Amino acid sequence: MADDVFRKGSTSAPRDYFRWEAAGLAWLGDAPGGAAVAQVLEVGEDHLDLRRLTFANPDPLMAEAFGAALARTHDAGAPAFGAPPPGWEGDGFLGPLSEPLPLALPACGSWGELYAQQILATLAMGVDRGVYHRSDTALVEAIARRLARGEFDDGVPPARIHGDLWSGNLLWTREGAVLIDPAAHGGHRETDLAMLALFGCPHLEWVVSGYLGQHRLDAEWPQRVALHQLHPLMIHAVLFGGGYVRQSLEHARRYR
């Protein structure tokens, strides 16, 4: 294999997992003026070949430029909340390659409806694994009802989001930031920003500044950050248990 090729492979990944990831990269990469994505060279049943990237230390200007580009990616939009990348049908995947979990992607008329179904599906997985218990179920179900009623919707159209934008899925090169490992779908733009904040991102304040310079958000968006972080925390709780269970429930109590 050539030195400039990075192979991401697994013989235990779900069927079509790598096709899902490649479809997401292509869709994100089609956004006019949007964030750069890893270049797909080949998609196989058990691997994905990407152009190898060389790391560089990020600086505030790179972070600000990425924030503006991410806003343009979101602005490219999606047909519906829950819409998958073109060429993909049904649910997607979210989580590490070692154990990707299903990502519910029903086409919905609102973000709240979509998010309610996603957290309920993840709750069910957590109950099956003994991670969440009866009192936890009542709490999350109460939030899901509020979401489904539209109490947290802000009327914005669906954005073209990365869907798993923690800092490890944002690679910095000399040319700027590059997106990898997406769970791309039609969602809410604040989800990607909340994910960047959840596990830390270099120069996050500059990323946000660049984003807001390209696309303004309403004044209440900081109060919704923890809500958008609830689902990824629940995913981590299902996968890893421990403190993620406590952290997810602490986030949930803020919105019951």
Task: Decide if 16 is inside a domain.
Answer: no
Task: Decide if 21 is inside a domain.
Answer: no
Rounded CA separation 122/102 (Å): 9
pLDDT value of residue 216: 97
Task: Decide if 47 is inside a domain.
Answer: no
Claim: this prediction has a pTM higher than 0.75:
yes
* Helical spans, DSSP H, in the chain: 17-29, 60-75, 111-128, 134-148, 189-198, 204-214, 225-240, 243-253
Task: Decide if 20 is inside a domain.
Answer: no
The alpha carbons of the chain give a radius of gyration, in whole angstroms, of 18
**Per-residue tokens: 112:** 């709240």
State which residues of the chain have pLDDT below 70.
none
Range of the domain at 121: 56-253
Q: Looking at the chain, how many residues does it have?
A: 256
pLDDT value of residue 166: 96
- The pLDDT tens digits of the residues spanning 13-45 come to 999 999 999 999 999 999 999 999 999 999 999
pLDDT value of residue 11: 94
Contact predicate 160/186, CB 8 Å: yes
The CATH number for 226's domain is 3.90.1200.10
Instruction: Give the number of domains in the chain.
Output: 1
Task: Decide if 41 is inside a domain.
Answer: no
Task: Decide if 7 is inside a domain.
Answer: no
- The pLDDT tens digits of the residues spanning 99-128 come to 999 999 999 999 999 999 999 999 999 999
Task: Decide if 169 is inside a domain.
Answer: yes
Task: Decide if 113 is inside a domain.
Answer: yes
pLDDT value of residue 2: 81
pLDDT value of residue 3: 84
